[in-house]
A and B are shown apart, each in its own frame.
Chain A
């Protein structure tokens, strides 16, 4: 990463998968899943059990960032199974990140950068 790149948020690398660049899509209800496009980064408060069955269908997304969550929760285990990079426990992702903004997530270190 460029050392001048601005760090926006930090979280737990719950599903490490390297550097990912994509557009933020803040989704807080199941109906919002329709808005996701290939390469988007899904940003949500948390992926509750209601979301999990749909995760297999949204594997076209390039990453997931949530306010809550951890490395041992069900959502993280499923993200790793589907090989989707996932940063959990950022606390403020849904408030700090802007819809459609392009970001870079380093899913190995749990750091999110502005582009």
Chain B
């Protein structure tokens, strides 16, 4: 299957390319042909996450962050019939240590975090609890505001995994007690404007 144009799927593939940990995931392009693969995925899972992706679509893509297994196939079939590719993922509860965005700048790395809750609360509703700016070269903290959600050592270990990514990439992640999950990488072409700012 050619992936050109499936922005979210390409983004997940990119995470895999960089060997970043992701939630168990399969992509569904043809419900009928992949039905067995879907059944195998759903085995032993009580809840799954269903997202969708469409070539060139700027519309709101249907999703269910926590879909019960018995309703999953119906929803996947419905979304597929509307021409979407489906991203079927292991459910990662929103109760986490922290979720957030890492923005790679030329000389700095900007990290913005929130505690428990879906990451979309930060991206869409502006719910931020912590912002930290690190010097990229040696991962020294340059500025900080808000409450400390994650131990610095843990955060630096995460930054070591992404610091070599191209500038102006925005990487979404969730840190839980039992694991670290990366969700997507997006390019933010406007991020260059933050280079000279004095983020506190």
B102 to chain A, nearest CB (A): 9
How many A-B Cβ pairs are below 8 Å? 80
A83 to B196, CA, bound (A): 15
Asked whether, in the complex, the Cβ of A46 is within 8 Å of the Cβ of B126, the reply is yes
Asked whether, in the complex, the Cβ of A15 is within 8 Å of the Cβ of B198, the reply is no
A88 to B197, CA, bound (A): 13
Could you say which of A12, A68, A110 has the most chain B C-beta atoms within 10 Å of its C-beta? A12
A110 to B197, CA, bound (A): 9
Measured CB to CB, the residues of B under 8 A from A are: 101, 103, 110, 112, 122-128, 131, 145, 170, 188, 190-191, 193-194, 196-200
Q: Could you write out 29 A-B pairs with CB less than 8 Å apart?
A: A12-B145, A15-B193, A16-B194, A46-B125, A46-B126, A47-B126, A68-B125, A68-B126, A68-B128, A69-B128, A70-B101, A70-B122, A70-B131, A71-B131, A71-B194, A72-B122, A72-B123, A73-B122, A73-B126, A73-B128, A74-B124, A77-B188, A77-B190, A80-B190, A88-B126, A89-B126, A108-B197, A109-B198, A110-B198
